[in-house]
Chains A and B, each alone.
Chain A
Amino acid sequence: MTGPDGARPLIAVVDYGAGNLVSMEQGLTASGAEVAIARDAAGLTGADAVVVPGVGAAAPAMRRLDGRGLTGPILDWIAADRPFLGVCLGLQLLFEGSDEDDASTFGILPGRTRRLEDAPTLPHIGWNQVTRLREHPLFDGIADAADFYFVHSYAGVPGTADDAAALAMTEHGRPFVSAVARGNLLGVQFHPERSGEDGLRLLANFVSIVRAAARPRVGLAS
Chain B
Amino acid sequence: MLRRRVIPCLDVADGRVVKGTRFVDLVDEGDPPELAERYAREGADELVFLDITAAPERRGTLLDIVERTARRAFIPLTVGGGVRTVTEMRDVLRAGADKVSLNTAAVAEPDLVSRCARRFGRQAVVVAIDALRGPGRDGAASGWTVVVKGGRELTGLDAVEWAAQAVELGAGELLVTSIDRDGTGAGFDTDLLRAITDRVGVPVIASGGAAGPADFVAAVRDGGADAVLAASIFHRRIHSIASVKAVMAAAGLPVRLVPEAVA
Contact = CB atoms under 8 A, between A and B. Distances in A.
Contacts of B201: 121-122
B76 A194 contact: yes
A125 interface: yes
B1 A57 contact: no
Interface size bracket, A side: 35 or more
Given A20-B93, A147-B256, A126 B226 contact: yes
Nearest to B72: A26
A54 to B, nearest CB: 9
Contacts of B122: 123, 153
Contacts of A20: 70, 93-94, 96-98
- Of B5, B172, B256, chain A has the most CB atoms within 10 Å of the CB of B256
Contact of B173 (A123, A149, A152, A196): A123
Given A22-B71, A149-B76, A194-B74, A126 B1 contact: no
A191 B76 CA distance: 9
Contacts of A193: 74
Interface in B178-225: 201-203
A126 B3 contact: yes
B123 interface: yes
B98 A194 contact: yes
Contacts of A27: 74
Given A125-B123, A195-B74, A147 B3 contact: yes
Interface string A171-183: 1100000000000
B227 interface: yes
A45 interface: no
A200 interface: yes
A7 to B, nearest CB: 23
Contacts of A19: 93-94, 98, 120, 124
Given A20-B94, A22-B95, A55 B5 contact: no
B2 A22 contact: no
**Which secondary structure dominates where chain B touches chain A?**
loop
Contacts of A152: 123
A19 B91 CA distance: 9
Contacts of A122: 201-202
A126 B2 contact: yes
A172 B2 CA distance: 7
Interface string B75-109: 11000000000000000011111100000000000
A2 interface: no
Nearest to B45: A127
Interface in A125-168: 125-129, 147, 149, 151-153
B67 A196 contact: no
A191 to B, nearest CB: 8
A1 to B, nearest CB: 14
A80 B31 CA distance: 47
- Of A21, A27, A56, A195, chain B has the most CB atoms within 10 Å of the CB of A56
A124 interface: yes
A123 B74 contact: no
B40 interface: yes
Given A19-B124, A23-B70, A127 B96 contact: no
A197 B73 CA distance: 10
Interface of A: 19-23, 26-27, 55-57, 120-129, 147, 149, 151-153, 171-172, 191, 193-197, 199-200
Interface of B: 1-5, 40, 45-46, 67, 70-71, 74-76, 93-98, 120-124, 172-173, 201-203, 226-227, 256, 258
Given A55-B123, A152-B123, 4 more contacts: A19-B94, A56-B124, A194-B75, A197-B74
